[in-house]
Each structure stands twice: as C-alpha cells, then as structure tokens.
Amino acid sequence: MKEQRSAYDYLSKYRTELMGIAILWVMWYHSEVHLDFFGIGVVDAFFRFLKRLGYIGVDIFLILSGMGVYNSLQKNTIPVFLVHRLKRIAPIWYLGVLSSILILRTDFSIKELIGYVTFTRMWLTDNPPGNWYVYAIVFFYLLSPSFSSLLSTKSKKLYFSFMFLMWLIISFQFIGTYKIRVFVRILSYLIGMYQSADLKEKVLTPFAWARLILLFFAGMAWFCYLYLFHYDHLEPYGMYYPVVLAGLPLTLFLARAMDLCEIKLKLLNKIFSMCGNASLEILLLSGALFEMARMAEDSFWRKRIPSLGILVFSVVVGIILRNVIVYVLKNAGVLQKRIAK
C-alpha cells in the first residue's frame, strides 16, 4: 500500500525547488522569450497560453511563503520575525535603490525616496510602482502576526474561512486598479499559512486528490474563458481570481511530480533549489533589466535571443548576489573587526 502524506509534507519537502520553478515562470512571463516557433498551431498556442499563465508563479511563491511565515512566527517573537524578514529583503532592495541613484542616475523625488526606503511607495502614489511584489510581501509580513494568532486557536478553520471571505470582499474594491494584484494575493498567502496551521497531519487521500483536481480544472476553465473571450480585460479585471483557485492544486501537482522523479531529476532539482533560494535577487535583477530593455531605443533587446540572455544573466548573477549577501550577513561581525583594524 502506498504511503499517504499530507499536502504540507509535499510542499515543505520541495519548498525551495518550487520557489525556483515559480520565479523562472514569472521571469518567462515578463520576458520576450516566446516559444511559438514550432509551426504547429496547437503547440504554438499551448506555449503562448503557458507563458501568459506565468503569473500563477506569484501565487505558488506566496503559498510557500505563507507556510514558512506561519512556522517562523510559532518559533520566534514578532520583533525577531520582522528582523529576520527585513534581513532577507533589505540588502538586495537597498542595493537596487543605490544602484539606481549612482549608476542609472535616477532622479527620485523626496516622496519617492521615502517610499522606497520605507517600502511604502505603493501606498503613497496612484501610479503603479515597479517591483510591486516587494511592497506587497512587506505588507503581508506586517499582517502575518494577526493571521498567525487567529490560526493558532482551536477555531482556526472558522477564522481562516472568515479571513479568506473578508479579504476576498476587500479585493473586489480594487478591481480595475493595479492594487488588485496585491489584495487578491493575500488569499494565496492565507492558504499557505493554513497549510502549516491545520493541515500538517491531514493526509491526502484519493478523495482529497480528486477534489484538488476538480479545483485546478475549475480555475483553469475560468482562466481559459477569460483568455479566449475577454483577453483585453484579463489582467485588470480578474486574471488573479482563477489563478488563486488553481494555485494550491498546481503547487501540489508539481511537488508530487518532483517526488516521483526525485532520483532522475537530481541535477534539475538542485538548479531549481538554487533559484528558489535566490528568488528575490533574481526577481529584482531581471525586473530592472527587462524594464531597461523596454525603455531602450534599440529594439534588439526586446527580441527573443537577447531576452533569453537577460534571463540567464539574471539567474546566474542573482544566485551569486544571494551567496555574497548571505556570506556578508553571516560574517558581519568578523568583517567589522577587520575594517576597524
């Protein structure tokens, strides 16, 4: 008889690998790397669809982040948790801001600079800011202690249902604005936290897998309907709801596939894991480079091969940056003493 495991077991075992898949999918979504060159209508259409679906990588990432955040809050005080999160985000974020000022000669207003430094620019302007994800995740981290507190009670299922419904209703107020992508994604984040809070010991029975498959196809059917018949309204008016619906099932399917092929795909899993550990660095670096490519007068950088080069460069340099930052933070005391001498 096959061993039955919980959703939490699958997701926690392959957490960094899944984050790696998520960040690569999101990068592909934002790139000009199109795979519709096979000359076979159905195949080309499938890859166009798969690329357009890349935004679901954000939901995969937030589900996994929610799981990790809940576990962290169970082990740490709120101040310690927030300091840990700040250490993860601040170094690469402030390095990016400093690079914009010194290298790109970006002329920030005082209001913009304050927004960048305090992670509040998204809330200080009506214009869509770049790297909205960073502002969103900081916002989620600030909400997390209250989420965790409610999900730690005996009535966690009731509180989860209440919070999910409340944030769903709140998100409706932002339909048609860029902030919809933030408020809808709280739902994915909550789903991740709930996996850690209540579903660690609940195994995935065949019936549970069947429900996940139905949920996935419901989300995909909804997305396909928008994609085929309301493409112009896909992003501003609700692409995010169907991918939230399909996010957890898809994440579990990927984890299950990795579990079945673990031995055969060791090298690939290692690459995904390295990308997952450096996901923030890769995201910010690729975002900056793609934005520069879009603004460049030379259309060369908006073509398939140069865009692929940006993807590869962002992954390699992002991984290197992450390792450098980890080394510096780990040896900060030693480095400070050396500098003092």
* The pair of three-digit structure tokens given for residue 91, joined into one six-digit string: 């170094």
Tell me the percentage of the chain whose pLDDT exceeds 90: 48
Say if residue 341's pLDDT is above 80: no
Residue 106 falls within a domain, yes or no? yes
Residue 334: band (very low, low, confident or very high) from pLDDT cuts 50, 70, 90: low
Report the distance separating Cα 121 and Cα 119, nearest Å: 6
* Neighbouring C-beta atoms of residue 266, cutoff 10 Å: 9
* The pair of three-digit structure tokens given for residue 277, joined into one six-digit string: 């550990």
Q: How do residues 122-172 score in pLDDT, each as one tens digit?
A: 887 766 667 889 999 999 999 999 999 999 999 999 999 999 999 999 998
| Torsion, CA 43, CA 44, CA 45, CA 48, rounded to 10 | 120
Q: How do residues 51-60 score in pLDDT, each as one tens digit?
A: 888 889 999 9
Residue 2 falls within a domain, yes or no? no
* Neighbouring C-beta atoms of residue 101, cutoff 10 Å: 13
Residue 238 has a pLDDT of 58
Residue 306 falls within a domain, yes or no? yes
Residue 335 has a pLDDT of 55
Average pLDDT estimate for 12-35: 90
3-state DSSP assignment of residue 203:
strand
Return the minimum-mean-pLDDT range out of 74-83, 103-112, 304-313: 103-112
What are the beta bridge partners of residue 6? 203
Residue 340 has a pLDDT of 53
Report the distance separating Cα 275 and Cα 60, nearest Å: 14
- Please give the residue that has the higher pLDDT: either 70 or 30: 70
Say if residue 298's pLDDT is above 80: no
Say if residue 302's pLDDT is above 80: no
Residue 333: band (very low, low, confident or very high) from pLDDT cuts 50, 70, 90: low
Residue 97 falls within a domain, yes or no? yes
> What is the extent of the structural domain holding 300?
7-340
- Please give the residue that has the higher pLDDT: either 231 or 307: 307
Tell me the percentage of the chain whose pLDDT exceeds 70: 87
Query: Distance of CA 283 to CAs 13, 22, 279, 308, 334, Å?
Result: 23, 10, 6, 15, 30
Q: How do residues 247-264 score in pLDDT, each as one tens digit?
A: 999 999 999 998 888 767
Q: How do residues 200-217 score in pLDDT, each as one tens digit?
A: 878 888 898 999 999 999
Residue 1 has a pLDDT of 40
Average pLDDT, the chain: 86
Q: Which amino acid is at 69?
A: V
What are the beta bridge partners of residue 69? none
Please choose, from the candidates 132, 148, 15, 11, the residue with its C-alpha nearest in 3D space to the C-alpha of residue 70: 148
Highest mean pLDDT among 1-15, 35-49, 99-113: 1-15
Residue 1 falls within a domain, yes or no? no
Residue 204 falls within a domain, yes or no? yes
Residues 6+ apart with CB under 8 A from 225: none
Say if residue 288's pLDDT is above 80: yes
- Total of domains in the chain: 1
Residue 14 falls within a domain, yes or no? yes
Residue 48 falls within a domain, yes or no? yes
Report the distance separating Cα 105 and Cα 95, nearest Å: 14
Helix (H) or strand (E) holding 16: helix 15-30
* The pair of three-digit structure tokens given for residue 136, joined into one six-digit string: 């969103």
User: DSSP letter string over 240-302?
Assistant: HHHHHHHHHHHHHHHHHHHHHTTTTTHHHHHHHHHHHHTHHHHHHHHHHHHHHHHH-SSGGGG
